[in-house]
Chains A and B, each alone.
Chain A
Amino acid sequence: MVKRFDVRQQTGFVTMAILCFVLLYLPIVTLVVYAFNNNDSLSIWKGFSLRWFHVAWNNTLVIESSIRSFQIASVAAILATVAATMAALATTRTRPYPGLTFKYAVINQPLMVPEIVTAVALLIVFSRIKIWTGYSGLGYLIAAHTAFCVPFAYLPIRARLENMDLSLETAASDLYATPSRTFRHVTFPLLWPGILAGLMLAFVVSLDDVVITEFIKSGGQDTLPTYMLGQIRRGVTPEVNAISTVFLALSVGIVTVFFFVSRKRT
């Protein structure tokens, strides 16, 4: 019998797999474990306690920056998803034409341009606008986050649209549905899991951002990640672990919810 090639039987496969998982998850496991450390030190274990969770909870700066993070991420993710949905419809519901690839590149620009370049560019532009308008609210952060979230929302939505049978929309129009009703009754319900995936991805990416936020935030506009960055500069306590752990739990929760919602819909 001819032996089939099976990557799992290659020498070193198991070692490699274990190594990868250790590298991926050991740091996170360590972080979570030490969040429950009853000590001021990050690395010396002194027994289980929820002490640092209490500390973080009672730290108004943590709570304020968390709320700010969620505000920015929610608004930016929704705006980015709306823009991405429209872009995805425009780029898939058309015959391929010269220049379409260029449009993909333009839409996905934030994935290719180094974040630090975008950050500096936005800093310069926004400081100008600040001088002209005198406005210095959260709008700048929301605008910046929306911009770099668009490609993350765009990719799953476009993938979903490309897998959708175009004849479904044709069938709807054949059955007396106007273009807007076709969108409402057929395209949108079928696109919904993709939109949800885009929304979640955009939300998580925005929640996570440090570089751009650090550059363009005004005083008192720390998000949770930039607040943590500031804390670490001043010396670290397991409070950062505790915050990170809650952050992690929330992210996992969001992704899990999405996973089940999207599976149910397809």
Chain B
Amino acid sequence: MLRATQPAIEARGVTRLFAGTGQNAIRALDNVSVSISENEFFTLLGPSGCGKTTLLRLIAGFDFPTAGEILLHGQDIAQLPPYKRPVNTVFQSYALFPHMTVAENIGFGLKMLGKPKAFIDARVDAMLRLVHMEALRNRRTSQISGGQQQRVALARALAPQPKVLLLDEPLSALDYKLRKEMQIELKRLQHETGITFIFVTHDQEEALTMSDRIAVMSAGRIRQVGTPGDIYGRPAERFVANFIGETNFLTAAITVTGDCKVRATLQSGATIDATVAEGFQPNGSATIVVRPEHARLISGAGDLSGTVDNIVYFGTDTNIHVHLDGGEAFTVRQQNARSASCGFQRGDRVGISIGNNVAQVLRD
């Protein structure tokens, strides 16, 4: 693994401006730097308009940065046209060629690369096997279902053995069950081919289940990069905490107690121990976050206390909304046991126990 230390794709200070309708240019990407390792399943996650697709298009070569470099194994490819980059894309609309068969679609890239016919045929067969589509080799792409088209699009992009595979919200057109299947399928393909995947999505659940690492984006910037566990459990700022999963936000006065440790004092005077991301020095007032499932509801006194406001049942879990004594709203999530009741009722006085290493101070 000589290249293990060198990232597969690296963006350095990439900015992309679009001419706006008025005088203001739109900053689709604002000084973005990110490094994606070889053989990684990397996800760009964010709401629509956050710049994730723009970044993908810059890596593919469909668009060019206003400033900055895009390195592929250390070589700047930012100005190369797409047909000169060993990078392939799975499009949101699949973009299968309607005048070609499934096999012709899959073989297209290799044909354009000038590979001999026998080689292409063998590779197409291998790809068809990889995505379990052998039976549909000679079908027209208009004669197969959406899920099958998805597989053909994947096979077509993988056939030329790109250094990096880009996936632009490829699962968004599929229904829930098929999407779940394809998520597992994509992970398997990434594992089997060993190709670096860069996956774009606005679906946080999809990002959390599939990725090795996630970059959360908003307004043309990368807000946080980390493993799904980091992003979910240790959100660095309000946007990330808010965008991914449900969270309780509490305003508190902060006193530093140790290395990356603080004591947060809430409005009611209750105190919680919280952690701080490295290199961040909070002082005075700050926002702390607690995931609903990391808190526990108890009948006696807890770290916090309040009154049960509402109980919302949804299958696997129950959300209990608590009105804290300080006036804030706080949600606790409990996994449902075999007996349906959560053991509390509206109006009950309750305590909330928050374990160590659970509360986190946000950079706003």
Contact = CB atoms under 8 A, between A and B. Distances in A.
A190 B97 CA distance: 9
Nearest to A266: B98
27 contacts: A165-B93, A167-B91, A167-B93, A168-B97, A170-B95, A171-B89, A171-B95, A171-B96, A171-B97, A172-B97, A172-B108, A173-B62, A173-B81, A173-B82, A173-B83, A174-B61, A174-B62, A174-B82, A174-B83, A174-B157, A176-B83, A176-B113, A176-B160, A177-B83, A177-B112, A189-B99, A265-B99
A177 B61 CA distance: 13
Interface of A: 165, 167-168, 170-178, 181, 185-186, 189-190, 265
Given A165-B93, A186-B97, A190-B98, A174 B112 contact: no
A172 to B, nearest CB: 7
Interface in B113-157: 113, 156-157
B60 interface: yes
Contacts of B157: 174-175
A165 B62 CA distance: 15
Contacts of A175: 83, 88, 108-109, 112, 156-157, 160
A186 B96 CA distance: 11
A175 B97 CA distance: 12
Contacts of B156: 175
Contacts of B81: 173
Interface string B314-333: 00000000000000000000
A251 B304 CA distance: 87
B296 to A, nearest CB: 49
| For the complex of A and B, 9 pairs with smallest distance between CB atoms | A175-B109, A171-B95, A176-B112, A167-B95, A173-B82, A177-B112, A176-B83, A174-B89, A189-B99
B60 A174 contact: yes
A15 to B, nearest CB: 42
Counting chain B CB atoms within 10 Å of each CB, the highest count among A173, A176, A177 belongs to: A176
A174 B108 CA distance: 10
Contacts of A265: 99
Interface residues of B, number: 24
Nearest to B112: A176
Nearest to A164: B98
Nearest to A181: B112
A212 B82 CA distance: 49
A166 to B, nearest CB: 9
B285 to A, nearest CB: 48
Contact of A178 (B83, B93, B108): B83
Contacts of A171: 89, 91, 95-97
A167 B91 CA distance: 8
Interface in B70-93: 81-84, 87-89, 91, 93
Given A165-B93, A177-B83, A185-B108, 6 more contacts: A171-B91, A174-B87, A174-B89, A175-B112, A178-B83, A265-B99
Contacts of A174: 60-62, 82-83, 87-89, 157
A101 to B, nearest CB: 18
Interface in B25-79: 60-62
A170 B113 CA distance: 16
Contact of A176 (B97, B99, B109): B109
Contacts of A168: 95, 97-98
B62 A170 contact: yes
A172 B88 CA distance: 10
Contact of B95 (A165, A185, A189, A190): A165
Contacts of B97: 168, 171-172, 186
A172 B93 CA distance: 14
A177 B97 CA distance: 13
Nearest to A190: B99
Contacts of A189: 99
Interface string B96-114: 1111000000001100110
Contacts of B60: 174
